Each structure stands twice: as structure tokens, then as C-alpha cells.
Amino acid sequence: MKIAVTGATGQLGQLAIAELKTRAPEAEIVAIARTPEKAASLGVEVRQGDYTDRASLDAALQGVDVLVLISASEFNDRVGQHRNAIEAAKGAGVHRIIYTSIVKADTSPLMIAADHKATEALLKDCGLSYTILRNPWYTENWTAGLGAAIANGALVGSAGEAKVSPATRQDLAEALAAVASEAGHENKIYELGCDAPFSLADIAAETSAQIGKPLPYVNMPKDDYMALLSSIGLPPGVPELITDADVHAADGWLLDESKTLSKLIGRPTTSLNEAVKAALAV
């Protein structure tokens, strides 16, 4: 069974391929990358493929049985990019597509969810088997900024006291590898989240405990938080997406308490303590 992973040079893609190598022979794994040279160190077959270039995907997916379609990281017509991959997979005779969506994609009001909802609809209508992993927010979306938070004396956000259930990329990569290499996941949709939800104030408190000095969480009004994110040089549109996610977290849109993720990976999800420790070690 040949398993191909798109976005193979991205952070999630690299981890997914590493996990697949523990579950399947390397000869059965294909890394699809827009720039193949960047995937040379992955230790598997590399094929050139670009979401915006249908012909490249047609060629890259020949002989592939299972396609791991990691959602596009460029926001210019993401649905169109995903459509190219799905149609190329169908034309190449791929049997199943695994797609990385977002938690509660079918009903979520998050700005970022609209593309995922549309892509899920394409998958359900394409005639191929599918597995949809509705990923939560990455834990690293918050912990990656802890160094700056410590330097500035506060962790800031706009999620209030909301509980969220993000997961580390490593945990989600293991889930990807599990459903790609195992039978029984056909036409399933999995809502994913960490075992023990927490708030942004909990992240601040855990960080405080580990660094030995107070780090408060400061909740900011939506417009102020968006302006702050814009001021640090994030790409256009990203401050709006991050702020929108924080604000909607207050209504539970970044919370999943099913513990499906730990069931898929066969172990407890990474704890907040471990995630903060890893972030501070970088």
C-alpha cells in the first residue's frame, strides 16, 4: 500500500512522515513537496507536487493508494487548491483521502473553518473513501510565543476564561499516521483534542511555575489584540484569523472533550506541563 503525504516539508508533514516510517516500509511512503529538494532528508521517495498545479498532482499521485491531504498553508483559494488534489487523486485511482480539517468544521463560525467545511463537502461528494481529522488548534500556536510573553511580562490573548483543547503537532502527526496505515477508518470523521482542556490563564500559570516568577494572563479586547498582532509583522490576514479564533473560543468552538485523539494514538495526549517545558527548552 503506497501512502503519499502532501505538504511534506511543513511542520506537520515532516512529523507525519517520521511516524509513518515506524508503521510502514519506507518504500511505501511518498513525500509530495512543492520544492522536492527540501524533502530530501525525509528518507522516503519524494515527488514534486503543487496544490496550484493540477498537472503536477496528476503525476505525483500515480500508484498511490492513500493520500494524506494536509490542508494548504497559503490562503489564496484554499478550496481550489484542495479541489485540485482531490480531483487528481480520483483520476490517479487513489482509494482513500485523509484530510486535516478543523474541530467542528461543519458548524464552526471561525473564519478559518469555512474553507475546511467546503473541502469536507468536496470529499464527501468525490466518490472516494475519506477520513476527516478535525484537528484542534495547535498547542504550539500559543506556546511558541512564551519567550516573548516572558520578555514582555505577560501572556496576552482574547479568549477570556474559555477552556480550549489544543494538541501538539506530534500528537496529531501520530493520529495521521495511525489512520493512514490502519484499516477501519474509511468514511469516518474524528473530532480531536487533548485529554485535559485548559485556559490561556492556565498556560500562564504553568509557565510561571516552571520559570519561577509570575507571568499573568492579560485578556485584551478584540480590536486591541488584533492591532497588537498586526504590529509584530504577521502576514496580512493572520492577525484577524488568530483573534477570531480566540474570541470564538469563549463559546466553546476550540473545545473537544471526546478524547478521540488519545484513543487513536494509543496513549495520553501531551500534557500542558510537557508542552510548556518543550517550548521553554527551545
Q: What is the pLDDT of residues 110-160, one digit of tens each?
A: 999 999 999 999 999 999 999 999 999 999 999 999 999 999 999 999 999
The DSSP symbol for 269 reads P
> Cell triple for residue 156?
496576552
- Tell me what pLDDT residue 182 has: 95
The DSSP symbol for 7 reads S
pLDDT tier at 234 (50, 70, 90 boundaries)? confident
pLDDT, tens digit, 9 for 90 and up, residues 69-95:
999 988 889 999 999 999 999 999 999
pLDDT at 170 over 90: yes
Check: CB of residue 98 under 8 Å from CB of residue 66. yes
pLDDT, tens digit, 9 for 90 and up, residues 25-61:
999 999 999 999 999 999 999 999 999 999 999 999 9
Place of cell 498545479: 53
- Tell me what pLDDT residue 236 has: 86
**CA distance linking residue 29 with residue 43, whole number of Å:** 9
Mean pLDDT of 220-241: 92
Class of domain 3-135+168-191: alpha beta
- Tell me what pLDDT residue 73 has: 86
Side by side, the strands of the sheet bearing 188-191 are 45-48, 29-33, 3-5, 66-69, 96-102, 129-135, 188-191
Classify residue 159 by burial, with Cβ atoms within 10 Å: 0-12, 13-18, 19+.
buried
The domain spans of the chain are 3-135+168-191
